[in-house]
Structure 1
Amino acid sequence: MIAVVLILIMKPAGPVSAAWSVTFKNPDPCALKGASVEFRCSYSYPETENVLKTSWYKGCMKDGHWKRVDLSVLPSYQNRSEYLGDQQHSCGLALHNLQDNDTGHYYFGLETDKYIRQSQDSVFLSVTELNVRVSPQRVRMGDNVKLECGMSCEPAPSTVWLKDTQPITNTEFQAQADDAGTYVCVVEGLESVNSHSVTLDVQYSPLNVSVEVTPPGLLAVGSSVNLTCSSAANPVADNYTWYRATASTSITQVGSGPVLSFPSMEESHNGVYVCQAGNHLGENNSTEVLLTVGRTDIYKSILIGIGVTVLLLLLLPLVIIWIWKHYRKSADTEEHSHDYENVSASHDYENVTTS
């Protein structure tokens, strides 16, 4: 039986085989890696034959020879190839989740009750990726940035840039601090297939410089206090300078480093403090922080005064309620007393009249 089949395959084309043909409607498709592609195909065969089986093959080199291998026996195509045709005249094929090695020649063939035939022409599939670039990749805040996305397929589809899953409307802009991050390009309407990511590094001098006082609140003589300076910067701030201004002196430098420590506060530490944070791109100042140091006995007096005020505010409503209740009780007693006298007088008048 095998010998017979081979003879039929090698049999020279005659009048019967002349009716056999395959037409590829998109012979050179181009598709993105990770996407899907469809081969649109139709075929014809002699009316005297009945189609038993249809197959798609991929051309590849094996042992130095060009061979056509049935997709159904290739493990890499399992669950990724889908026959869209029938056993009449349609022979479409869909390939899903395309990979780089899917690039190549694809052939269609069929088996009838008389012959096994394979197409001489093929579909050549090109699998490509989105080519993306951000230029320049490292900029200073305010510099111009351009995002570029393209692919080798023609016509190229419409693409969209995403940053943190959010679409970017402008692909050319002046970089700001919050523009730093990772970007990807996707085909519009096919967001599940995206390019490799590109990173934009935006460098800037310290921004939003602030000072935190620890512990917060009233400062007493002898207490320990830390002033901590922080900022947003790229690269991070590596130079901190502390300044103090008082009513009697000009601004003077009082320390360096991100933390200014006072192990034991004194009244001489009173003043306005400012932190200056910097990197190689520049420097910026924090908002002013006022430190006022007082003696413990003064603070105790202040606290006692505050406590007495709070106590009075709490007691005042109670006193008002007590006075109101006492007034109501007195008023009720007086009212009842007048009613009793009127009744007594009425009885006396009646008694006198009866006599």
Structure 2
Amino acid sequence: MIHAACCHLKTIKSDPRISKPLQNWMFCVLHVKKMIAVLVLFIMKPAGSVSADWSVTFENPNPCAVKGSSVEFRCSYNYPDREIARKIAWYKGQFIDGDWKRIALSDIPSYQNRSEYLGDLQHNCSLEIQDLQDDDAGYYYFRFDTDKYGRRSKESVYLTVTELKARVNPKRVRAGDTVTLECGASCPLSTTVWFKDGHPVSKPNFTAQAEDAGNYFCAVEGQESVQSDPVTLDVQYSPLNVSVEVSHAGLLTVGSSVNLTCSSAANPAADSYTWYRSTGSSSVLQVGSGQVLCLPSVDLSHSGLYICQSRNRLGENNSTQVLLTVTETDIYRLILLVGIGVKVVFLLLLPLFIIQAWRRWRNSTADTESHDYENV
């Protein structure tokens, strides 16, 4: 058909009876017929042609991964059964001198030791890229060659590389307020998990308590080693665990000195301390202020139960009672003197007891010898 059309074109051009415009028109018609004939021949090629049974399929054509993590391009390819795959390669699309070109990953130094072909030479063409960087974002293509033909994917995999952004809402709360943790990225991610100071957080929404203050960061589940930058949650609360430390343990004698120090956990820190003393009756007296109560020379009137009240702008709390007992006699010194006296007396009497015991033993020995002689 094509040969006949070509001969007809030559005949038209050589016929002087046909005018020049008519020749041009007839030439165009026959040229179109020639193109149609070529197209028909192409379409009517048998099933074993190059275009049949050839395909490349990407299961996740638009993956999104966190910077520093890894990503897998799940891929499969097909070709006629009578063919055998001999060569495979992955490419990345890049603009070079204004032209879009496909560069083999094996020719890009930054992918050395970071890309791994997970597929085979049959139908699996999956690829993994590790330790993702911002420059890894872009279009990726796959190509394979058999004994006779080569095929490259028309479609592509577009990789997005993102960074995790952790947010705490609100950043500063009072104990009892609700806190929401949000982990964002420039594209949708799978399930995210949270950590506080290295320990897992069970829920991203909770009622804040004093112990919830700290640094929080998020990660993608299954890739916990790649984490967001930390964000700080500030939980404010009134004084807790108020306690009093006494510089002198035990009983106090008149004229001795003692210091009482008050401490507490609070956010913001306690800015006011008040001291009270209870004398056993229902009356309570304010006896000082400040974190340390100094009693340089105590007397009997200082005996009683002491309480420290710690306060910040959010509230106040009291310590447990601490008992101070002041006596006129230094009992400990008396006990020490008595003990020394007992030891001295014991040391003086011990030789007498030893001498007396030795004499009794000697007398008993002499009596025994005398009886033996009489028996003989």
Residue correspondence of structure 1 range 21-40 to structure 2 within 5 A: 21-40=55-74
Cα gap change, 1:50 to 1:27, in 2 (>3 Å): closer
Q: Give me the whole-angstrom Cα distance separating, in 1, the residues matched to 2:269 and 2:288.
A: 19
State the Cα distance separating 1:223 from its structure 2 match: 5.5
Q: Are positions 1:205 and 2:238 aligned together?
A: yes
Q: Give me the whole-angstrom Cα distance separating, in 1, the residues matched to 2:109 and 2:245.
A: 63
Residue correspondence of structure 1 range 231-246 to structure 2 within 5 A: 231-246=264-279
Q: Are positions 1:270 and 2:302 aligned together?
A: yes
Could you say which residue in structure 2 is the equivalent of 1:99? 133
Letter in 2 for 1:192: S
1:128·1:153 contact (CA, 8 Å) conserved in 2?
Answer: no
Could you say which residue in structure 2 is the equivalent of 1:8? none
Q: Give me the whole-angstrom Cα distance separating, in 2, the residues matched to 1:118 and 1:325.
A: 114
Number of equivalent positions:
328
Deviations 1:60-113 (A, max 9, x none): 344554332332333432321112234554422111122344333210124678
> What secondary structure, in the 3-state scheme, does the structure 2 residue paired with 1:27 have?
coil
State the Cα distance separating 1:247 from its structure 2 match: 6.5
Could you say which residue in structure 2 is the equivalent of 1:306? 335
> What secondary structure, in the 3-state scheme, does the structure 1 residue paired with 2:61 have?
coil
Could you say which residue in structure 2 is the equivalent of 1:85? 119
2:215·2:230 contact (CA, 8 Å) conserved in 1?
Answer: yes
Letter in 2 for 1:231: S
Q: Give me the whole-angstrom Cα distance separating, in 1, the residues matched to 2:212 and 2:298.
A: 46
> What secondary structure, in the 3-state scheme, does the structure 1 residue paired with 2:154 have?
coil
2:244·2:262 contact (CA, 8 Å) conserved in 1?
Answer: yes
Could you say which residue in structure 2 is the equivalent of 1:183? 216
1:184·1:194 contact (CA, 8 Å) conserved in 2?
Answer: yes
State the Cα distance separating 1:250 from its structure 2 match: 4.7
Cα gap change, 1:79 to 1:323, in 2 (>3 Å): farther
Could you say which residue in structure 1 is the equivalent of 2:317? 284
> What secondary structure, in the 3-state scheme, does the structure 1 residue paired with 2:263 have?
strand
> What secondary structure, in the 3-state scheme, does the structure 2 residue paired with 1:336 have?
helix
Could you say which residue in structure 2 is the equivalent of 1:9? none
Deviations 1:148-170 (A, max 9, x none): 5577547x34x443223333334
Q: Are positions 1:70 and 2:104 aligned together?
A: yes
Question: Taking structure 1 as the reference length, what is the TM-score of the superposition?
Answer: 0.73
Could you say which residue in structure 2 is the equivalent of 1:333? 362
* Structure 1: gaps (5+ residues): 1-11, 348-355
Cα gap change, 1:269 to 1:103, in 2 (>3 Å): farther
Q: Give me the whole-angstrom Cα distance separating, in 1, the residues matched to 2:170 and 2:154.
A: 49
Letter in 1 for 2:302: N
Question: Taking structure 2 as the reference length, what is the TM-score of the superposition?
Answer: 0.69
Cα gap change, 1:314 to 1:153, in 2 (>3 Å): farther
Could you say which residue in structure 2 is the equivalent of 1:193? 226
2:85·2:147 contact (CA, 8 Å) conserved in 1?
Answer: yes
Cα gap change, 1:311 to 1:223, in 2 (>3 Å): closer
Letter in 2 for 1:119: S
If you compute each CA radius of gyration, which structure gives the higher value, 1 or 2?
A: 2
Could you say which residue in structure 2 is the equivalent of 1:259? 292
Q: Give me the whole-angstrom Cα distance separating, in 1, the residues matched to 2:61 and 2:340.
A: 92
Q: Give me the whole-angstrom Cα distance separating, in 1, the residues matched to 2:280 and 2:121.
A: 98
Aligned residues: CA RMSD: 4.0
Letter in 1 for 2:339: V
Deviations 1:45-70 (A, max 9, x none): 6767873x532122234455433233
Q: Give me the whole-angstrom Cα distance separating, in 2, the residues matched to 1:203 and 1:141.
A: 6
Q: Give me the whole-angstrom Cα distance separating, in 1, the residues matched to 2:278 and 2:260.
A: 15
* Structure 2: gaps (5+ residues): 1-41
Could you say which residue in structure 2 is the equivalent of 1:227? 260
Cα gap change, 1:316 to 1:173, in 2 (>3 Å): farther
Cα gap change, 1:66 to 1:212, in 2 (>3 Å): same
State the Cα distance separating 1:279 from its structure 2 match: 0.9
Cα gap change, 1:69 to 1:216, in 2 (>3 Å): farther
> What secondary structure, in the 3-state scheme, does the structure 2 residue paired with 1:183 have?
strand
Q: Give me the whole-angstrom Cα distance separating, in 2, the residues matched to 1:221 and 1:181.
A: 48
State the Cα distance separating 1:123 from its structure 2 match: 1.5
Letter in 2 for 1:79: N
Q: Give me the whole-angstrom Cα distance separating, in 1, the residues matched to 2:155 and 2:335.
A: 97
> What secondary structure, in the 3-state scheme, does the structure 1 residue paired with 2:369 have?
helix
1:31·1:153 contact (CA, 8 Å) conserved in 2?
Answer: no
Once structures 1 and 2 are overlaid, which stretch shifts more, 17-26 or 159-168?
17-26
State the Cα distance separating 1:236 from its structure 2 match: 0.7
Letter in 2 for 1:342: H
Letter in 2 for 1:267: D
Deviations 1:255-310 (A, max 9, x none): 43323344x42537714443222111011122334445566xx43xx344221343
